[in-house]
Amino acid sequence: MKRLAMTSLAILAAGCAAAGNDPLAAQSVSGQSVAARPAVLLPSTGNPLLDAAALLAAADSIAQPEQRAPLIERLDAMNVQLAEGAPDDPLGEWRSQHRANESNPWRGRTLGPAYRRASVAAGQRVRIEQIFFAGQRAQIAAQASGGGQVALAIANPRAEAVCQKQLSPNASCDWLPIYTERFSIELENRGREPASVYIVIR
């Protein structure tokens, strides 16, 4: 199993770890106790796009904003932003919830990797188009959540395959475009369950 399988959340029950051993345990600030945050395993693969995709998928599976906070802070540090033309912005909603619970609100920064979310029904395909520039390394990472078995296929405008991978649950592709042109990114759910896929692009 790939390293990113370790990115599944390990949320510890309150009181499981002693405050002296847990860096996220309750702390005392100006004599007042601060509630502990649940400990979360953050991905660290050495591939920032794979890490961002894993963080987005993990955050999507969490219902409580306070439990999602470490993931949002990591995504902020990576400067992850919504891809142009993406139809919805779950990260923007999570950031708003996070700001409501924090004294130091997140502020816009220099653009980093761009992300978008795609929902793929069982047996269906979703196609996204993205322009990449000649001579500049193109990078894509994708992470699937849910029960879907999703295949990723990237092709140039001449229908020539650039990259084909199975998301299990993640994969990445990188190549050097010869021309500035629009590439197709196709997701095919070959399973029997719907899948949510986060795609991160640089």
State how beta strands 195-201 and 125-132 pair: unpaired
pLDDT digits (tens, 9 = 90+) for 77-120: 999 999 988 888 999 998 888 876 655 544 444 568 999 999 99
Cα maximum dimension of the chain: 66
Residue 42 banded pLDDT, cuts 50, 70, 90: confident
State how beta strands 81-82 and 114-120 pair: parallel
* Percent of the chain surpassing pLDDT 90: 51
Higher confidence at residue 184 or residue 107? 184
Domain edges within the chain: 114-201
* 137-to-6, 92, 96 alpha-carbon distances in Å: 28, 27, 33
Residue 59 predicted with pLDDT over 70: yes
Question: pTM score, two decimals?
Answer: 0.69
SS3 content of the chain, % helix, strand, coil (to 5): 20, 35, 45
Query: Which CATH number among 2.60.120.380, 1.10.357.10, 3.40.50.620, 3.40.50.2300 corresponds to the domain 114-201?
Result: 2.60.120.380
